[in-house]
Amino acid sequence: MSAPRQPSPPPVLEAESVSRSYRLGASLVTAIQDVSLSVASGELIALKGPSGSGKTTLLNLMGLLDRPDAGVVRVGGVEAEGWTRTRARTCGATSSGLSFRASI
Ligand SMILES: Nc1ncnc2c1ncn2[C@@H]1O[C@H](COP(=O)(O)OP(=O)(O)OP(=O)(O)O)[C@@H](O)[C@H]1O
Ligand SMILES: [Mg+2]
C-alpha 5 – ligand 2 centre gap (Å): 41
At residue 4 the predicted structure's pLDDT band, cuts being 50, 70 and 90, is confident
Full-model pTM: 0.85
User: In this structure, which residue's CA is closest to atom 31 in ligand 1?
Assistant: 52
Q: What is the pLDDT of residue 95?
A: 60
Domain count, the chain: 1
**Confidence grade of residue 7 (pLDDT, cut at 50, 70, 90):** confident
| Inside any domain, residue 17 | yes
* Position 82 in a domain: yes
Contacts 24+ apart (CB under 8 A), 70-73: 70/17, 70/18, 70/19, 71/15, 71/16, 71/17, 71/18, 71/19, 71/34, 71/35, 71/36, 72/14, 72/15, 72/16, 72/17, 72/18, 73/13, 73/14, 73/15, 73/16, 73/18
| Residue pLDDT, tens place only, 9-62 | 888 899 999 999 999 999 999 999 999 999 998 898 889 999 999 999 999 999
Residue 8 forms part of a structural domain = no
Contact 74, 80 (CB under 8 A): yes
Report which ligand 1 atom has the smallest distance to the Cα of 23. Answer: 4
By residue range, what is the domain housing residue 74? Answer: 13-40+47-95
Position 84 in a domain: yes
Q: Which ligand is nearest to the CA of 60?
A: 1
Whether 88 is covered by a domain: the verdict is: yes
Residue 92 scores a pLDDT above 90: no
Assigned domain for 71 exists: yes
